[in-house]
């Protein structure tokens, strides 16, 4: 797919110029599909469409379960680093980029309906948080999960890791930037099932039908009860704080060096400043 067009006239920038998130409803199941090759990265346009798709599903009384999936080899590479180097000019009235990020990644837990997320390949950074905040996760054997932002000087998905993983596993991912594979994710309870990649949608729909067989109002109350164990502020507040920490961390000399080294495919040289 082509990138959203940006012109010198800021008012003409349209985050919907290309469809990067598909939305469809069938038999009370809303399927939200990331479709932005090659990495399904969360730039402004995909993030905007992502938030709107979840909002739409949550407001639709015909929708009782949400399935989140992605096209391509991977689920998502997280935040779009290329766009961060050359951000689009956002017209007045649009959600500012600094506000859109914290709205994007907690969406599965912000909606009132169960979210089943299907993961193939990599789900890292902000995409890891999307998975972490989902209700049920089904992965293929090729799936890998991680919060590698430390490697580019960002705080990133630390909050998502802390929410969904045992403390020492979360610390390992956040401090090293190293990923875990589907089997390890299954062992620590991050993933519910591992199925072949070509069976992900079939299995996701099977689980969705199990949920649909139950009283819809009760299902919504159960999701609310599950989330009440950990108040919503336990998610939204760390996301907000991490966004502020990211702003500080990404303005350090080491962070600029880390991004440059990543783009130039070389080892970074850090000086602790």
Pairing of strands 115-119, 65-70: parallel
pLDDT the model gives residue 101: 79
The domains found in the chain, sorted by start residue, are: 10-197+222-264 (3.90.226.10)
Reference 121, options 157, 158, 77, 176; nearest CA is 77
pLDDT the model gives residue 235: 61
Q: What's the first-to-final CA gap in the chain, in angstroms?
A: 39
pLDDT the model gives residue 75: 98
- What Å distances lie between residue 265 and 90, 231, 261, 268, CA to CA? 30, 41, 6, 9
pLDDT the model gives residue 263: 73
Mean pLDDT by 10 residues, the chain (273 residues): 45 82 98 96 94 97 98 93 77 81 88 97 94 96 94 78 89 94 97 98 98 97 86 62 65 76 80 79
CB of 29 closer than 8 Å to CB of 64: yes
pLDDT the model gives residue 7: 44
DSSP 144-159: EEE-GGGGGT--TTHH
CB of 118 closer than 8 Å to CB of 71: no
pLDDT the model gives residue 265: 81
CB of 37 closer than 8 Å to CB of 25: no
Q: From CA 81, how far away is CA 262, in angstroms rounded?
A: 10
- Which residues in the chain belong to E strands, given as ranges? 21-26, 29-34, 65-70, 115-119, 122-124, 136-139, 144-146, 180-181, 193-194
């Amino acid at each position: 797919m082509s990138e959203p067009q940006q012109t010198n006239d800021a008012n003409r920038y349209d985050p919907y110029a290309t469809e990067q998130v598909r939305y469809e409803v069938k038999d009370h199941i809303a399927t939200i599909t990331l479709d932005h090759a090659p990495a399904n990265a969360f730039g402004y346009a995909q993030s905007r469409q992502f938030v709107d798709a979840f909002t739409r599903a949550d407001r639709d009384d015909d929708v009782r379960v949400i399935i989140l999936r992605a096209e391509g080899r991977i689920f998502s590479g997280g935040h779009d680093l290329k766009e961060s180097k050359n951000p689009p000019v956002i017209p007045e009235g649009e959600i500012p980029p600094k506000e859109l990020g914290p709205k994007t990644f907690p969406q599965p837990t912000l909606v009132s309906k169960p979210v089943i997320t299907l993961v193939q390949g990599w789900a890292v950074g902000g995409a890891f948080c999307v998975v972490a905040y989902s209700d049920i996760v089904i992965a293929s054997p090729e799936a890998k999960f991680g919060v590698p932002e430390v490697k580019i000087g960002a705080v990133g998905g630390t909050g998502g890791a802390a929410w969904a993983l045992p403390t020492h596993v979360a610390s390992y991912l956040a401090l090293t930037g190293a990923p875990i594979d589907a089997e390890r994710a299954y062992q620590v309870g991050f993933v519910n099932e591992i199925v072949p990649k070509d069976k992900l949608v079939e299995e996701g729909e099977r689980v969705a039908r199990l949920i649909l067989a139950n009283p819809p109002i009760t299902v919504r109350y159960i999701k609310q009860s599950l989330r009440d164990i950990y108040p919503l502020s336990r998610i939204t507040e760390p996301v907000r704080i991490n966004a502020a920490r990211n702003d500080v961390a990404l303005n350090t000399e080491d962070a600029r060096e880390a991004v440059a080294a990543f783009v130039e495919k070389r080892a970074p040289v850090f000086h602790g400043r």
